[in-house]
Structure formats: structure tokens, C-alpha cells
Amino acid sequence: MELVFNAIITIFQPINFSLTLLGVLIGTLFGAIPGLTATLAIALLSPLTFNMDPISSMLLLLGIYAGGMYGGSITAITIRAPGAPANAAVVDDGYALTLQGKGGVAIGISNVAGVVGGLFSCIAMIFLSPLLAKFALMFGPAEYFSVTLFGLTAVFAVSGKSFIKGVFSALLGLLLATVGYDPILPFSRFNFGIAPLSRGLSFLPAVIGMFAFAEVIRLVLEYKEEEQQMVKVDRVVPNLQEFKESFRFMIRGGIIGVLIGILPGAGGTIASYVSYGDVRRNARHPELVGKGSLEAIAGPESANNAVSGGAMIPMLTLGIPGDSVTAVLLGAMMIQGIQPGPLLFKQHLDVVYPIFAGMILSNVSLLFIGMLVVKPISRIALIKKPLLISFLMIFGVIGSFASSNSIFDVLVAICFGVLGFFMDRFDFPIAPTVLAMILGPLLENSLRQAMITSNGSPLIFFTKPISVVFLAIALITSLSMIYRERKQAKPLPSGF
């Protein structure tokens, strides 16, 4: 109880409270700009947090996470340009409502739904995380290897159009993660005589490159001069009747979002489309879905925001991120000296509780900030793209430098930017590479520790029940993806 009380005091300290609000504001801004996502915002702004206290830095990043998930719906509703793929599910209904002069209410419902979904996922996270952490304490190296492998398999199985390309991306990430010092022996691998490579490829510059620089290149290549129309936004706060009409789907969306968020790889896009399908089947007026239904805004937006709490569960308890946003968050936490995993819940509850409280505060403040900034943000489309591109490039360069005060990291980020651009262009999913880069050391460490324990026998992975279960799930996930592709079934939309 004392820890809970301390956590509340911590998050309401003026600096922490302000950073949470600032994070929500920045996240909402980034989310609202088409092409920019919460992942990109966290990757770009993580270097700013290195000189901060770990709790303060986490509160800023969690605020960005919450704001980023919601922000994309504003431009999806007002100008049919979703800020992120996860907000695409509300485009039809949101824009139809804008044409009917109800765009403001649609954004208001999206905001409330995001907050309800986010808070619902926080509750799930608070109750489920300690249970999973307790279970994870039973894990040895073999179990860790199998769980990590399962996490990676699930990500590449659902994150792209082609299974083989997903595998390619994940394995490329695993190979890149082997650069630098061996995790057990003091021996540097694949450094080619370049001193900075001895400590490995820094994760944050790589992520900044793959998201920010790749986006800069894409924006430059696809740039067309066009004037965006200003959209007038009317009343934003929904009335009681509108709220009551859509509340049912906010809860249903929240449940869908949490369940999907826990699964590695299945991010906000899948959650919001699953919820959209749920609304189509169960809405009071199904004929309105796609033509301006508030229920069809509430469900997907609630599901999208609920993914955040769900995805935090495996990240905090196992140290295994479920998507690229939590992968970047994990990277930022590790730089701050916080090592997520079951021991975090045993030894550092002083860190865990402020994170829980910070997630709740982020979502509550999203309700107010989200409503207040709608009108200025709906004008965001008027920003000249060349100026935005220039900002992204400069911030990307300085951010990659600041991650370890190394100019070499800028070069690393540029190389990863070009790699990320080509991968995106030719339909190789980026998320498995990012996740593999952060999971690679964990996978190698657990594999080699298990092999040492078993005197080099790989049978150890098939004699431990938990390990066998996760290996079986990984195999089934992969086989089902291959089967689905062979049957030429419609692939799932990208979760990133």
C-alpha cells in the first residue's frame, strides 16, 4: 500500500506531472500527422530522456504512447488521412460524420473511447502483470529461449503480406544483433576493425534510421504539392445520448484490444479492424456502419488504445516486446538501467508502480488534452511537408548522436534509414527486424546458457514442459501462416 501511495506522489510531482502532459501532447501531435507514428515519436524523443530520472523519462514516453495512439484518428476523421494504420478503421465513418457536420462529435467519441480503452487496458495490466511475472519466475534458459522464439515467430507471422519475407526480416535483425561483444566471452564479433562496432550496433540509432530516415526518404519521393482544405470542427464534447449509444462498443473494443495487445505482433491495426468487424455484426443500426456510425468510431478507437496496456504486459513481465512501440520503449528502459522481466516485479516495485500510475495518468490526461487540442491539430495538415521533412531529418540526426554522444551512430542511423526505406518499399516488414534486434541478445544468451547446462544437448528444449508448449505454439503459428498463404487467403493488415 505504501508503494502505491509513493507511486501516486511520484507521478504528481510537478516535473513528472508536466512531463506526462507534455508526452500526451507530443504523442497526439505526432499521431495526427499522417505517416508519423507513436513509434517514431518515442524513437526520436528517447534521446531527450537520457539525462532524466528513469521514472520521469518513462512518464514522458508513456504519455507519448497514449497520445500517439489517439492522435491519428483526428486527421482520419477530418481529412480522411489516418495518422497511423491503426486509425484507418475509422476513416469511412469518421469522414462521413465530418461531411454531415458532426466531425467534432466523432473526434470527441474517438477521444473518450481511447481513454476508456486505455484505462481498461491499464486495469488489465495491473492485475495480469504480477501473475505473469510470478509464472515467469519459473523460467530457466530453455523456457526463455522458447518464449522469445515464440514472440519473434508471432511477430513475423502476422506483420507482413508474405511469410518468407517476415522470416527474412526477423533473421536479418537477429544477424545484425550479433555484431559486437559476445554475451558470454570477452570477444568482439563482426567489427571489421571499426572500433565503434565493437560495442555493437546501437539499437536507438538503428530504430531512428528505420523509422525516421526511412520516412524522410519516403516523404521526399512521394511529395506532391497540394493544398489541404481547412476543416471546420464544431462541438467536440459528445452529449450523454451519444456517449450512451457508443459506450457498449468502447468496453467491447477495450476487451478486444487488451487480448490482441498481449499477443506478440498483433498490434493496434489488427485490434481496431477486429473491433470494427464486431461493430458491423452487433451494432444497433448496422446499416449506418461505414456511413457515419458513432459506434464504429468508438469500438476501433477503444481497441486501438487498449492495445497499449496489453502490449506492456509481456514487455514488463518477460522483457519481450509485443510490437515495435514496446520494443523502442524497452530499449529506452534498458538505457535508463531498468531491466524489464520477472525480477522487476520482485526487486523494483518502486519502478513498476509509478509505471502503472503513469499509464493511468496518461490516459486520464488524454481526455482533457485530446479535447483541447482538436481544433489546432485539425489544422496540422496545413503544415508544409518540406518543412516537416526537414525537421524530421535534423531531429533524427541529433537524436541518433545524442543516444550515446557518438557521431558514428549518425552514420548507423543513415544506413538503417536506407535499409528501412527499401524494406518498406518492397514489402519486407520492418517490425520483425526491430524486434529481432532487441530480442537477439536475449535469444542468444538463453540458447547458449541452456546448451551449457545440458552439455551441448538440444534435447533440453524438448524436455521442459513450458518450453515444449511455446515451441509448439511457435510451430503452429508458422505452419498456419504458410497454410493461409498457400490457400491465398486475404492476409491480415500490417500491425505496424
51 forms part of the interface with another protein (CB under 8 A): yes
Q: How far apart are CA 323 and CA 309, in angstroms?
A: 12
Residue 217 touching another protein (CB under 8 A): yes
Q: Which of residues 108-147 bind another protein (CB under 8 A)?
A: none
Task: At 188, give phi and psi (nearest 5°).
Answer: -95, 130
The DSSP element (H or E) to which 412 belongs, if any, is helix 408-425
Whichever of 218 and 248 has its CB closer to another protein, that residue is 218
Q: Is 232 in the site for another protein (CB under 8 A)?
A: no
Among residues 1, 195, 221, 489, the one that binds another protein under rule CB under 8 A: 221
Stretch that binds another protein, among 30-38, 121-129, 254-262, 382-390 (CB under 8 A): 382-390
Read off the amino acid at residue 267: G
**Binding test (CB under 8 A) with another protein, winner from 127, 285, 386, 483:** 386
Give the Å distances, CA to CA, from 113 to 82, 307, 324, 395. Answer: 17, 13, 23, 32
Residue 276 CA to residue 329 CA, distance in Å, equals: 28
**How many whole angstroms separate alpha carbon 330 and alpha carbon 338?**
9
482 binds another protein (CB under 8 A): no
Nearer to another protein, 120 or 401 (CB): 401
The answer to whether the CB of 27 falls within 8 A of the CB of 38 is yes
Three cell numbers, residue 24: 500526451
Cβ at position 417, least distance to another protein in Å: 7
Q: For the residues of 247-289, what is the DSSP string, one character each?
A: HHHHHHHHHHHHHHHHSTT--HHHHHHHHHHHHHHH-SSGGGT
- Interface pick for another protein out of 229, 287, 426, 488 (rule CB under 8 A): 426
Chosen residue from 137, 220, 472, 475 binding another protein by CB under 8 A = 220
Alpha carbon distances (Å) from 348 to 3, 138, 294, 339, 342: 10, 18, 42, 10, 10
Single out the residue of 390, 462, 472, 483 in contact with another protein (rule: CB under 8 A).
390
Q: How far apart are CA 89 and CA 285, in angstroms?
A: 18
Among 12, 127, 135, 391, binds another protein (CB under 8 A): 391
- Looking at the Cβ atoms of 50 and 247, the one nearer to another protein is 50
DSSP secondary structure letter of residue 179: S
Stretch of residues binding another protein (CB under 8 A), selected from 266-274, 338-346, 424-432, 466-474: 424-432
> Of 207 and 443, which has the nearer Cβ to another protein?
443
Quickly count: other Cβ atoms within 10 Å of residue 230's Cβ.
Answer: 12
401 is a site residue for another protein (CB under 8 A) = yes
CA distances from 134 to 129, 130, 314, 317, 342 (A): 9, 6, 12, 9, 7
Q: How far is the CB of 220 from another protein (least distance, A)?
A: 5
- Distances from the Cα of 468 to the Cαs of 249, 254, 259, 472, in angstroms? 38, 31, 23, 6
x/- track of binding to another protein for residues 179-208 (CB under 8 A): ---x-xx-x-xx------------------
> Interface residues with another protein (CB under 8 A)?
47-48, 50-52, 162, 164-165, 167-168, 171-172, 174-175, 178, 182, 184-185, 187, 189-190, 213, 216-217, 219-221, 223, 225, 384-387, 389-391, 393-395, 397-398, 401-402, 405, 407, 410-411, 414, 417-418, 421-422, 425-426, 428, 443-444, 447-448, 451-452, 455-456
